[in-house]
Amino acid sequence: MKPLRKLIELLARGSRLGDSWERAGFASRGDAERALRHLAGSLPGEPSPGGDRDSSGVGDSKPAGGVECVVVHVDGASRGNPGPSAVAAVAFLPSGEQLTSRVKRIGKATNNVAEYRAVIEGLVLAGLLGAAHVVVRLDSELVMKQITGEYRIKNEMLRRLAAEVKQCAEPFRSITYEKIPRNENKEADRLANKALAGGAGGSPDD
């Protein structure tokens, strides 16, 4: 079995990278980290503005895979409603330690569409990290209550996006959506707005 495949299996079972790289057959922990980054970089996604490592699933030196529970802060930004839009998702451990992020410009969209797309990016990010339990935190009350069924969804586009959110959530053992104040969602908001302001880092994905 190739070392990378073995390593991913070990991480998916909950092992730590420091306990797994040698068992998987890597010569060093650095080699294992580079292999994970290379794999993450081959996944679909847009590079973020200003050089933020994000849509690769590896925003810093933290390896992807094997995280039991993640807290994902998500936010969408739109200029014009509809207008140029971007989304961001930032993953944290329950302890508050930031793991990684994804940022993507999504072309022309409304604020609500951008918020839904941000939730989807957050779930994709949690999946890349191998999480079993996910807490998604967002500052859009409308989107949160529509996703949880408290509000009816009248708009056809939002109904389709809500169905996509539900599909993305299926692999997880548990998922919780939490509405938070905007001032507690600063990092996701910063990244989404930076994507709009910078206008760099790849083309919109739609």
As assigned by CATH, the class of the 46-198 domain is alpha beta
For residue 172, how many other CB atoms are within 10 A of its CB?
Answer: 17
206 residues of the chain, pLDDT tens digit each = 467 777 676 666 666 777 777 887 877 777 777 777 666 554 444 333 333 333 333 333 333 445 789 999 999 999 998 999 999 999 999 989 999 999 999 999 999 999 999 999 999 999 999 999 999 999 999 999 999 999 999 999 999 999 999 999 999 999 999 999 999 999 999 999 999 987 533 334 43
Cβ atoms of residues 103 and 60 within 8 Å:
no
Report pTM: 0.68
